[in-house]
């Protein structure tokens, strides 16, 4: 299922990347051409104006007929500006007669004469691209309306070099775009796999959670049903005579109620519906009260219960949840300690309040310690039915994280376990 989802997400990402790369490449290409076209148009217009200005400033009858004038015109005008334009030009008078042609063939000029005629007729400029023979040309036809006579200067340039440039640019963009797309698809496949991992992990944990919850609920239900069957089969027995069976059933309902309560807490935590009721209170008092109620249970198991609690430590947190967390940690220590000792310490260190609950119980193996906060996980299967639900430490971890506290565990088999809460 997740393999197919991985491939689908990569495919969707690939389509987005193809569209994105195409958009970028097309945008670069078209924008570059637009800038180039506009720049070339302005340069050609500037050349036409310069040619016309130079002609008017230098023109006399003798010079106008002198071929050397046009040679100097071509050399000087083209080099006057900062840009160097390798262009040809044709000058027409108001009767559309060709006055001069420079730098190009007469055949090309003849094919462009209709543009000059149109410019004189409409008294306007034009800028076009036109294919003549096997080559494309840019042609700028500039109309001048002088006091004495009108004229047209037509500047044109072959696009063969820029056609090679645009072809090269298209090839480069295609190759780089294709290479980039393949590289991005590979990266997308890797990153999509990383993104799916938490989903896959959550799905597996959820599946295991449902299976474990079903198992945990089935066990007390089976016990309840068995004991009630015994009671119902005894038609002549009194309530007192069946007290042991009814007591067993009642005990299991309490286990179920506790399990369901824990499940509801975790469900609200997963849905982010559990709000924290923040207030300032003395955590020293809470730890003392919880220890006071738990010490009786510890004494019944011949456990040495020690307390080292610093007075009047104030925190701002959710009172009920912090109390529940402390109860879970101390109850867990008592549950898995036999005739040993438990020590509860509360103190301040480097502006942090620290609670430590340590015992000399059976401990947790190294391979299990990383999963001790998982739901329904019990490190020692032999203690599976110690009256717990396997959810207590998961709830404790959630309470700590919701307050941005740090809850850690250290343990050694047959030596003991140490839980540390840093607030």
- pLDDT tens-digit profile of 220-257? 788 888 888 887 887 777 777 778 888 888 877 877 78
Give 62's pLDDT tier (boundaries 50, 70, 90). Answer: very low
Lowest mean pLDDT among 119-123, 289-293, 377-381: 377-381
Helix axes 243-270, 392-402, angle to 10 degrees: 30
325 neighbors 362 (Cβ within 8 angstroms): no
Residue 147: per-residue pLDDT: 64
Q: What mean pLDDT is predicted for residues 108-132?
A: 89
Q: Whats the size of the chain, residue-wise?
A: 423
Closest C-alpha to 358, from 306, 398, 283: 306
Closest C-alpha to 375, from 180, 159, 212, 204: 212
Give 345's pLDDT tier (boundaries 50, 70, 90). Answer: very high
More confident residue, 217 or 279: 279
Residue 58: per-residue pLDDT: 63
Given a cut of 50, is residue 70 above it in pLDDT? no
Q: Which residues contact 259 (CB under 8 A, 6 or more apart)?
A: 213, 216, 217, 220, 389, 391
Bridge partners of residue 93, in order along the sequence: 151
Residue 61: per-residue pLDDT: 42
Q: Please measure the distance between the N-terminal and C-terminal CA atoms of the chain and give it in whole angstroms.
A: 42
What is the CB neighbour count within 10 angstroms for residue 108? 19
pLDDT digits (tens, 9 = 90+) for 161-215: 888 888 998 898 888 888 888 888 888 888 888 888 888 877 777 776 677 667 6
Which of 7-21, 107-121, 375-389 shows the highest mean pLDDT? 107-121
């Amino acid at each position: 299922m997740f393999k197919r989802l991985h491939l689908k997400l990569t495919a969707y990402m690939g389509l987005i990347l193809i569209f994105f790369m195409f958009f970028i490449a097309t945008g670069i290409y078209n924008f570059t051409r637009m800038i180039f076209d506009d720049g070339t148009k302005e340069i050609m217009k500037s050349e036409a104006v310069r040619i016309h200005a130079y002609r008017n400033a230098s023109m006399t009858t003798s010079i106008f007929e002198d071929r050397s004038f046009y040679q100097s015109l071509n050399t000087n005008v083209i080099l006057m500006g900062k840009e160097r334009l390798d262009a040809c030009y044709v000058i027409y008078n108001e009767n559309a007669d060709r006055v001069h042609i420079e730098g190009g063939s007469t055949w090309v000029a003849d094919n462009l004469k209709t543009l000059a005629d149109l410019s004189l007729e409409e008294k306007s400029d034009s800028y076009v691209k036109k294919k003549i023979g096997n080559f494309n040309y840019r042609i700028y036809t500039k109309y001048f309306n002088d006091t004495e006579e009108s004229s047209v200067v037509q500047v044109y340039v072959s696009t063969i070099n820029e056609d090679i440039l645009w072809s090269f640019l298209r090839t480069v963009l295609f190759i780089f775009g294709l290479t980039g797309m393949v590289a991005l698809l590979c990266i997308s496949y890797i990153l999509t796999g990383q993104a799916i991992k938490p989903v896959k992990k959550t799905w597996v944990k959820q599946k295991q959670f449902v299976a474990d919850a079903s198992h945990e609920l089935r066990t007390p239900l089976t016990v309840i049903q068995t004991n009630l069957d015994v009671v119902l089969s005894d038609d002549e027995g009194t309530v007192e005579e069946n007290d042991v069976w009814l007591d067993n059933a009642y005990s299991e309902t309490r286990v179920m109620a506790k399990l369901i309560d824990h499940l509801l807490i975790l469900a609200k935590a997963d849905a982010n519906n559990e709000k924290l009721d923040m207030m300032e209170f003395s955590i020293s008092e809470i730890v003392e009260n919880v220890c006071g109620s738990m010490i009786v249970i510890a004494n019944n198991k011949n456990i040495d219960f020690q307390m080292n609690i610093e007075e009047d430590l104030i925190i701002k947190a959710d009172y009920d949840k912090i109390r529940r967390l402390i109860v879970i940690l101390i109850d867990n220590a008592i549950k898995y300690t036999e005739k040993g000792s438990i020590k509860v310490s509360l103190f301040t260190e480097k502006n942090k309040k620290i609670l430590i609950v340590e015992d000399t119980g059976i401990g947790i193996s190294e391979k299990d310690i990383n999963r001790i906060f998982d739901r329904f996980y019990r490190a020692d299967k032999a203690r599976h039915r110690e009256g717990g639900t396997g959810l207590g430490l998961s709830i404790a971890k959630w309470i700590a994280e919701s307050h941005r506290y740090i809850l850690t565990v250290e343990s050694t088999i047959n030596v003991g376990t140490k839980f540390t809460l840093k607030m």
